[in-house]
């Protein structure tokens, strides 16, 4: 019997920081470089090799595990992937409670959030349009 795997997308850690410029300077000294974001909106995305972190001031209450369906680790759009709404259906089928849900009647960018047993937020945040023919073009089975 093979186990079905849900492909969640690119992974990063979203850090709830108290001082965005200080955090940016600290992580840059560790070798991270800004690849996305807008400091005037209190968020930056930094990368060091294949490691991605987000710095968010006043956006998240806690550090958050973030997955981005439809993106590579370099934030490039994929043609085929498992849409966040399909992931949501799979998680519900497995009995997981969601803190926030994606609108299942929508297409395109959407997100959901759940909380792990230790209170850590897990954000599944899709930034790209839904792939056509989800039933036939998924990167993984849910």
Tens digits of per-residue pLDDT, 62-98? 999 999 999 998 888 898 899 999 999 999 999 999 9
Whether residue 41 is found in the same domain as residue 83? no
Q: Is the domain of 74 the same as that of 141?
A: yes
In this predicted structure, what is the pLDDT of residue 79?
86
State the pTM of this model. 0.84
Residue 6 inside a domain? The answer is: no
Number of domains into which the chain is organized: 2
Looking at the fold, whether 23 and 92 belong to one and the same domain comes out as no
Q: 109 lies in a domain?
A: yes
Mean pLDDT across the stretch 44-49? 96
Q: Are residues 84 and 57 in the same domain?
A: no
Give the range of the structural domain holding residue 121, as residue numbers without chain letter.
63-142
pLDDT (tens digit per residue) in 25-42: 999 999 999 999 999 999
Indicate if 129 and 70 belong to the same structural domain.
Answer: yes
Report the b/e string of 92-117 with b at 16+ CB within 10 A. eeeeeeeeebbeeeeeeebbbbbeee
């Amino acid at each position: 019997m093979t186990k079905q795997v849900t492909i969640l997308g690119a992974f990063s850690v979203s850090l709830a920081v108290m001082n965005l410029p200080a955090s940016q300077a600290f992580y840059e000294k560790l070798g991270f470089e800004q690849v996305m974001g807008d400091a005037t909106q209190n968020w930056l995305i930094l990368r060091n090799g294949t490691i991605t972190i987000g710095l968010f001031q006043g956006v998240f209450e806690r550090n958050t595990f973030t997955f981005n369906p439809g993106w590579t680790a370099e934030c490039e759009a994929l043609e085929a992937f498992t849409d966040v709404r399909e992931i949501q259906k799979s998680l519900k089928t497995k009995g997981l409670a969601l803190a926030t849900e994606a609108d299942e009647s929508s297409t395109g960018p959407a997100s959901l959030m759940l909380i792990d047993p230790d209170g850590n937020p897990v954000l599944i945040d899709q930034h790209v349009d839904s792939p056509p023919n989800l039933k036939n073009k998924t990167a993984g089975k849910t």
